[in-house]
Amino acid sequence: MPEIEIETVSVPGEGDDVEHLGEADYAELDEASAESFKVAYSGQDFDVEGLVRRLDRGDMLVPQFGHADVHIETAGFQRNFVWTKPQMDKFIESLLLGYPIPGILLIRQQDNRYLILDGQQRLRTLQRFYQGQHQDRSFTLKNVSNEFQGLSYATLSDSQRRAIDNTYIQATIINSDGSLGSQEAVYQIFERLNSGGTQLTAHEIRVALYAGPLIDQIHRLNHNQDWRRVYGDPSPRLRDQELVLRIMALYLQGDSYIRPLKRFLNDFAGTNRHASDPNIAAASDLFERAALLVRQGPGSDAMRRRSRQLNVAQTEALFVGLMEELTKRDLSINKVSAAVDILKADESLDQSMTTGTSTEDAVTSRLDGARAAFGAV
């Protein structure tokens, strides 16, 4: 996959790609990190009844890829994580017949809970079968042989119940010590497992693996009304949320940026996972002030460059430059609009805004260009 990264997103309402990744997404996923990390792992067998019990208690967690955001609860996005009912039925039938079951992959977190990296569909199916409910309906077996037709967990015979309860599923358990290297190793493992009909973006994986107060804060900023007015409709694939994270990370740590972008953002998310640094709160306030000024002034056109599509690099530079300037002085709406005109008219920045945008030189060039534009008004 070439390194060229097209930094635009579709105009909301103009056929946003819900299920498939674009060229920039694949380029980001394919770009190799300069470092590799090793992990310690071990094997352990869990009985099915014990797995369901852990799921019910919250001791075993299914990653959340959209921060429980109602805006991404689309059929296309969910299809990668939830089996169809026939698939679920056949899996339960396999257990009843004593067929071999594939293993699962777990991350042992610092609080000793397990995060499920591989095996979500199987474990969710077991949990729902034991609960007797799936999509607000009674979970009874239908797509199975006559012997098991119409059975639920509650109506299994004692022998059938034991057959499921006592089935062992092999788990590979990876230990995470919470360090950046350990977290990046987990990210890279998940990235290698990332395939299927609805492949995850780099940020969707990040949201799942770095969940915590920082992701909560980014989620909140992404729902700021001024930001929503200039960005447009929420992105089903969290591209808007990733852009907010990019702005925050480059504002706070842009001077230390080193590609690949996904590793830079992972490190920022890992280091600031608990959002305990007061600079996070200060940057959040500046982001909201900047969003208000952009909405009141140049509007959404400020986030476009040579086309009607939102330009990620342009938006990133605009917000970082404006946030930095707001730490020095207050700006009127007219001055913000004037700075945007200067930034958009600077043809020397076109390349850093459109191709190869994740290189160190491109990031430095466009951020310096935005600083110069705001310094000139």
The predicted pLDDT at position 2 comes to: 33
The predicted pLDDT at position 242 comes to: 97
Apex CA 260: angle with CA 258 and CA 262, to 5°?
115
> How confident is the model over 35-53, as pLDDT tens digits?
778 888 999 999 999 999 9
Bond prior to 298 in cis (omega within 30° of 0):
no
User: What is the pTM for the complete model shown?
Assistant: 0.85
> How confident is the model over 325-352, as pLDDT tens digits?
999 999 999 999 999 999 999 999 999 9
Give which of 327, 321, 328 is closest to 365, Cα–Cα: 321
> How confident is the model over 223-245, as pLDDT tens digits?
999 999 999 999 988 999 999 99
> How confident is the model over 299-315, as pLDDT tens digits?
999 999 988 899 999 99
The predicted pLDDT at position 22 comes to: 66
Q: What tokens were used for 75?
A: 């059929």
The predicted pLDDT at position 68 comes to: 60
The predicted pLDDT at position 26 comes to: 64
**Do strands 104-108 and 8-9 pair parallel, antiparallel, or not at all (unpaired)?**
unpaired
Q: Give the model's confidence band at 29: pLDDT under 50 very low, under 70 low, under 90 confident, else very high.
A: low
Determine the Cα–Cα distance for residues 159 and 119; give it in Å rounded to an integer: 26
Apex CA 180: angle with CA 286 and CA 123, to 5°?
100
| Sequence-ordered list of residues with C-beta below 8 angstroms from that of 365, at least 6 positions apart, any chain | 349, 352
Q: Give the model's confidence band at 155: pLDDT under 50 very low, under 70 low, under 90 confident, else very high.
A: very high
